[in-house]
Amino acid sequence: MVAPIYIITIPLGIAFLIGVLGKSNKNIGGMFMLIALACMSFVSAQWFISFMTSTQSPVYIYTAGFKPPFSINLLMGLNEAFFTLIINIATLLGAIYLYNNLKKQGTNAMSVFLGFAMALNVMVMTRDIFNLYVFLEIASVATAGLIILEQGLKSTSAGFKYMIATGIISSILLIGIIFAYNYSGTLNIDGLIEANIGILKGGAIAIFLILIAIVLELKPFPANGWALDVYQGADSGIGAMISAASASASLYVLYKLFAIAGESWYPVIAVLGIITFIASNLFGLKQTNSKRLLGYSSIGQIGLLITVLGLSPYLGDKFEFIAVTLLISHYLAKAILFWISGIVKAENIKNWSNLRKKPLLVALFGTAVFLLLGFPPFPSFFGKWELVMQLANSGQFAWMTAILVGSFFEGIYLFRWFGYTLKLDNKELPEYKMKLNKIIPPAIFGVAAYILGYYSGTFVDAAKGLDYIPLLFIAFIALINFLPAWVKNSISLTGVILYIAVIFPEFDGDLLRQIFAAIFLGGAVLALFAGFYSKGKRSGFHVVTLAMFAGLAMLLKADNLLEIFYAWELMTIGSYFLLIRGKKSMPHGYSYMMFSLGGSYALIFGFALAFVSFGNLDLQSLSGITIYPTLAYSLMLLGFMTKTASFGLHIWLPGAHGEAVVDIHFMASAILLKAGVFGIILVLLGMGTEASYAKYILYTLGWIGAISALIGNIAASFQESAKRLLAWSSIGQLGYIVFGLALMSHLGWMAGIFYTATHFLYKGVLFLTIGGIALKLGTPYMYRMGGLIKKMPFSFIAVLIAIITLSGIPPLVGFAGKWLFYNAIISQGLYFQGIVVLFSGIVAFLYLFRLIYSVFLGQLKDEHRNVKELPLCLLIPIYILIIAIMIISARPDFILKPIGNYLLAYFPSGALNWNGTMASTGLGYWDGYWVMIIVGVMFTLLFGWLLILNSKSKKVKQFNMVYAGEKPFRPETTHMSYNMFSGYNKALGFFMMPGVTGFWNWMSDILHDTANYFRRIYSGNGQSYAIHIIAYIIIIYLIVF
């Protein structure tokens, strides 16, 4: 193996060599620089691999052959190998990225860059504290040199502020070092550890000065204005280096020096870190400059890592895993983000929509955002999970909360930014070029994020059961993104069907999962089939669709909480991208993500409490929560209810679904929402009804369901857009389901599960037909439609059957739900909740009539005279669903009996009695089969009679009708659709006041105003920043001593 000392000598030698080369040999110099960096990476990699794979022991390198304290020594152990490896790779790729900039500035710049890389390496490896100081200074000076690589007022003034700040910081460090020497008589870190000078007052101050200087190097809030200015002012390639390479090195230095400081310093450091994490993510909220925003995010992430370092006593043997996964995620994501910000050259985050011109950049940006926020399949997901679990295990709930709150703030601005990128108009924005050397580094890091994500999963026991085959399939689909939509559609469809064949037998004997699998995966097949309507490439659609369905399938397969969370987050990513595809869906996709993010943090908190109570992550742990059980169950329910869009958390749904196109609308409404239902079922099964808190939770949940039902249905009646009408209707229908589950009885659950299944069927029909029509006519507004029954008879029949089912009119199967509700409500005495639910069921007639009348009946518009029936690829899924509805309408016992048998295990009392096809409870009875027969026979007989009676009737033209003494000549004047239930609106419209939206907006305003007020401490004056630093030291000193 190559000796580690070469990591230092190679860059040193080459840097001098390049200096000698002079200005005329820039290309050769550049080549030398890259070769040097590659050699350094190679040496580190070699050591790292040998540490990982064999029992290589750490190696000390002594200068001049003396042993310390008479010489400086360096260490190459696993940690050093890892850190030098990531630093060298970052600097190598960074040099490739900056190649042209460096070349423009000449060979001196290249030498400086090499010096920068070398200094960071020595900082990591050295065991001598004065040597550390020296190389910290070299790194600072080199950084200051690199900041003005891109010459301009901004970079120069930022660089000067940087010099002032680092000047003070390193002086503090030096004073600390000399006092530490004074008390210990050595400069060697190991010697200092042995000397244990912390017990002396003076020694403690020395340690304080050293530590605080290193912390200040890591840019803690509020003494970090200089760093923000540097991030904003310097070239983004330099920003990437500071954020990825320098910060990693400084973090390791802090870690190294921790050994000197001793345990009493851990909490101090953790507090400093968390304040930085929360504050800088909060201030990021108001930031619009992309590089400065990245600076805020970068500082926040470093704050998180400092916190993790400070919390290490609580993290046990998972500390290293957590720290490494979080660090590597920050490192990859920040480097990617800075690098692409240099490519797109858009200062304002609203101009980042330019990124959309290159799909690869969008993919990288998305990767980085999800990587930063700890979504699967990235390393940070596992890191954050373990962090929360270990903190919970040590009872550190306040720390958990703080970390989750900070992450949420980060999510707010990252997703807003991402939304701008995906949706804002980019026509006016300037063209830009994507040079090869600028795209390779972020691309490599992007790929690495996925690979390392998989790799980190292998370290987590609970994640061993994860099924990566669907993800590989998705990756394959991503690779063939350039093919036309129908090819990808066919491949995806085949994949899903094969997967069903594999996965379905796994649920044998578990009816609940079978039903949900039928909804999720059967729905996937229908949705993909419907997807054949689209022409062109439909870039990215299949990847995200499959990601969502993979998440849903994993949710069902999950054996432990981690897998549930993994699946949940994966599904969230997929659905976010699906929902944001709509034309005007930027704000809605954003609010969807905000609620999802908040929901997942609530979930992980609840899961952590379950984990601590139970001791492991099995699904049974949900049933035995003993630590803050009320909080735990409430949080989990809240988390799952963000997906069922229950009252209070529903505001994202109407817009997001209303803007989605036909098949996405189907997936989002008929399928995705059921994931939340599945989650609620799991939680409620765990919670049971016995505990004292369960009563209150269930009572509240019941009201949430009932109010969702009412608000959803009333709001649906006042919508002008057919798609928004259906979206609100979904909120109402999910309200029924939540209400049914909250009843926690045999009948209630039967109704809940039954609604889950039938809602999929009839709402599926509605979404596909209405969505298809809206797509065909180019408008979702019902007052622009009308009279389409003559053009689309099959769609009309489908919608008719669907709305009869939805409204619960016998003989179709929707009635079963109403009947079950009546029986459950009366037998359980939940009258008033029940009345609200039943009332909202009747309100549903309003919007259903409006929907079918305004679209299909009334007057056909002139511009729709040539409209044709929906395409077969939509009609076939629609009629498959219709057939299913008709079958279970005729024989509701086919579905109710198995559900009843399944529920016997959980709710043995209050089951339905079956006498043939007649179901009865203690209260009432109902025979769906006979109702169907009676109504069928009667209808046929009467129909025959009417045929005879009306045989003479003649068909007339559209306008042949009595109309106040004259014949109308324009369809618009005779189609009554706009503001249809105005009278109802006058009487009950107050239900529609957007109070909930107002509440969330108010919350958001408060947050943003706070951020805006407090971020003004970053005045831009370099001297104020110096004062911040000094004040920071003094204040921390006063607090600590």
State in angstroms the smallest separation of the CB of 148 from another protein: 7
Tell me the backbone φ, ψ of residue 483, rounded to 5 degrees: -75, 160
| SS3 labels along 286-323 | CCCEHHHHHHHHHHHHHHHHHHHHHCHHHHHHHHHHHH
From the list 342-350, 553-561, 759-767, 983-991, the region that binds another protein by CB under 8 A is 983-991
> Where does this chain touch another protein (CB under 8 A) — which range of 345-353, 557-565, 777-785, 921-929?
921-929
Residue 835 Cβ vs another protein, minimum distance, rounded to whole Å: 6
User: If binding is defined by CB under 8 A, does position 1040 make contact with another protein?
Assistant: no
Q: What's at 788, amino acid-wise?
A: L
Q: How far lies 207's CA from each of 175, 179, 182, 222, 967, in Å?
A: 10, 9, 12, 21, 95
Site for another protein in 984-1023 (CB under 8 A): 984, 986-988, 1015-1016, 1018-1023
167 near another protein (CB under 8 A): yes
Report the nearest approach of another protein to the CB of residue 140 (Å): 8
CB 684 within 8 A of CB 677: no
At 62 the three-state DSSP class reads strand
Q: Which of 137, 320, 467, 869 binds another protein (CB under 8 A)?
A: 137
Residues 862, 905, 954, 969: which binds another protein (CB under 8 A)?
A: 954
Using CB under 8 A as the binding rule, whether residue 159 contacts another protein is answered as yes
- Partners of 918 in beta bridges: 915, 927
Strand partners, 919: 914, 926
Nearer to another protein, 86 or 836 (CB): 836
DSSP run (H or E) holding 73: strand 73-76
The answer to whether the beta carbons of residues 600 and 680 sit under 8 Å apart is no
Q: How far apart are CA 401 and CA 415, in angstroms?
A: 21
Kindly state whether residue 1026 participates in binding another protein, applying the rule CB under 8 A.
yes
Provide, rounded to whole angstroms, the least separation between the CB of residue 843 and another protein: 5
934 binds another protein (CB under 8 A): yes
Query: Which amino acid, one-letter code, is at 1035?
Result: I
Contact 446, 364 (CB under 8 A): yes
User: Using the rule CB under 8 A, is 1035 a contact of another protein?
Assistant: no
For residues 386 and 322, the answer to whether their CB atoms sit within 8 Å is yes
Residue from the set 20, 960, 990, 1001 that interacts with another protein by CB under 8 A: 960
Question: Residue 908, SS3?
Answer: coil
Looking at the Cβ atoms of 289 and 426, the one nearer to another protein is 289
**For residues 723 and 782, what is the distance between their CA atoms, to the nearest angstrom?**
9
The two tokens of residue 1041 are 């001593």
Name the minimum Å distance from CB 865 to another protein: 15
Q: Which member of 1, 1003, 1030, 1034 binds another protein (CB under 8 A)?
A: 1030
Q: How far is the CB of 717 from another protein (least distance, A)?
A: 9
Establish if 922 lies at the interface with another protein (CB under 8 A): yes
Residues 277-336 contacting another protein, CB under 8 A: 286-287, 292
User: Of the candidates 16, 699, 914, 925, which one interacts with another protein according to CB under 8 A?
Assistant: 925
* The one among 432, 849, 879, 1000 contacting another protein by CB under 8 A: 849
949 binds another protein (CB under 8 A): yes
Number of residues this chain uses to bind another protein (CB under 8 A): 124
CA distances from 809 to 41, 752, 800, 819 (A): 72, 18, 12, 11
Q: Alpha-carbon distance 798 to 788, whole Å?
A: 13
- What single-letter amino acid sits at 344? V
Work out whether 794 is an interface residue with another protein (CB under 8 A): no
Q: Which of 581, 746, 850, 861 binds another protein (CB under 8 A)?
A: 850
Length of the chain: 1041
Binding to another protein in span 189-248, by CB under 8 A = 225, 228-229, 232-233
Shortest Cβ 122–another protein spacing (Å)? 14
Residue located via tokens 């930022």: 158
Distance of CA 123 to the CA centre of its chain: 36
- Rounded distance between C-alpha atoms, residue 978 and residue 783, angstroms: 6
**x/- track of binding to another protein for residues 805-844 (CB under 8 A):** --xxxx----x--xx--xx-xx----xx-xx--xx--xx-
160 lies in the site for another protein, by CB under 8 A: yes
Should residue 952 be labelled a site residue for another protein when binding is judged by CB under 8 A?
Answer: yes
787 counts as binding another protein under rule CB under 8 A? yes
Out of 90, 144, 711, 801, the residue judged to bind another protein by CB under 8 A: 144
Nearer to another protein, 21 or 797 (CB): 797
Q: Is 804 in the site for another protein (CB under 8 A)?
A: yes
Backbone angles phi, psi at 908, to 5 degrees: -65, -30
* Contact indicator for 169, 157 with CB cutoff of 8 Å: no
Q: Is 157 in the site for another protein (CB under 8 A)?
A: yes
- Whether residue 836 contacts residue 774, with contact meaning beta carbons closer than 8 Å, is answered with no
Regarding 891 and contact with another protein (CB under 8 A), the answer is no
Is 938 near another protein (CB under 8 A)? Answer: yes
- CB closer to another protein, 12 vs 45: 12
- Residue 89 and residue 81 in contact, taking contact as beta carbons nearer than 8 Å: no
Q: Which is nearer to another protein, 559 or 720 (CB)?
A: 720
Min dist. Cβ of residue 943 to another protein (A): 6
**Does 687 contact another protein by CB under 8 A?**
no
Using the rule CB under 8 A, which residue among 475, 976, 1003, 1034 binds another protein? Answer: 976
Classify 507 as helix, strand or coil: helix
Task: Tell the smallest beta-carbon distance from residue 995 to another protein (Å).
Answer: 20
Q: If binding is defined by CB under 8 A, does position 906 make contact with another protein? A: no
What are the residues whose beta carbons fall under 8 Å from the beta carbon of 910, sequence distance 6 or more? 745, 746, 747, 827, 921
Q: Site residues for another protein, window 546-575 (CB under 8 A)?
A: none
911 exposure class (CB count in 10 Å sphere: 0-12, 13-18, 19+): middle
